């Protein structure tokens, strides 16, 4: 099954700082998605970047994708305490097959 590996496993920053999380994957993809999970809640979709795109923005989120390196990064700018959550990347093959998730990056934003 296709899954991403997030790095670092945990990240702690101060409010107002930027947070960068990385994702690596192994096989070809149609798109790559990032999700957020607040403690004990279901995952929520944040942003999707297609394999022919290199960068995408949504509000304070910036996602990059390098298909040659099979990697992606998620940047959250001007972080807030409410951004505290786990973040998961999800490399999607384009056909609905075994869709799985890695262990995520736990982001803690300290007020």
Partner 1 sequence: EAQVTQNPRYLITVTGKKLTVTCSQNMNHEYMSWYRQDPGLGLRQIYYSMNVEVTDKGDVPEGYKVSRKEKRNFPLILESPSPNQTSLYFCASNGAGDEQFFGPGTRLTVL
Give me the residue label for tokens 């795109």: 53
Q: Are strands 55-58 and 71-76 parallel, antiparallel or unpaired?
A: unpaired
Nearer to partner 1, 69 or 98 (CB): 98
Nearer to partner 1, 68 or 95 (CB): 95
Contact, 75 vs 19, CB < 8 A?
A: yes
Interaction mask 51-90, partner 1, x per CB under 8 A: -------------------------------------x-x
Closest CA to 13 of 79, 63, 74: 79
Please tell me whether residue 95 binds partner 1 under the rule CB under 8 A: yes
CA distance 50 to 54: 8
Residues making contact with partner 1 (CB under 8 A) = 1, 30-31, 33, 35, 40-45, 48, 88, 90, 92, 94-96, 98-104
């Amino acid at each position: 099954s296709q899954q991403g590996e997030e790095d670092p496993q945990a990240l702690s920053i101060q409010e107002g700082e930027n947070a960068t999380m990385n994702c690596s994957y192994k096989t070809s993809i149609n798109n790559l998605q990032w999700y957020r999970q607040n403690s004990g809640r279901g995952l929520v979709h944040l942003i999707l970047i297609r394999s022919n795109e290199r960068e995408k923005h949504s509000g304070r989120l910036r996602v990059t994708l390098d298909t040659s390196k099979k990697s992606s990064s998620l940047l959250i700018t001007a972080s807030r305490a409410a951004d505290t959550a786990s973040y998961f990347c999800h490399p999607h093959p384009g056909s609905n097959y075994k869709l799985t998730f890695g262990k995520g990056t736990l982001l803690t934003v300290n007020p």
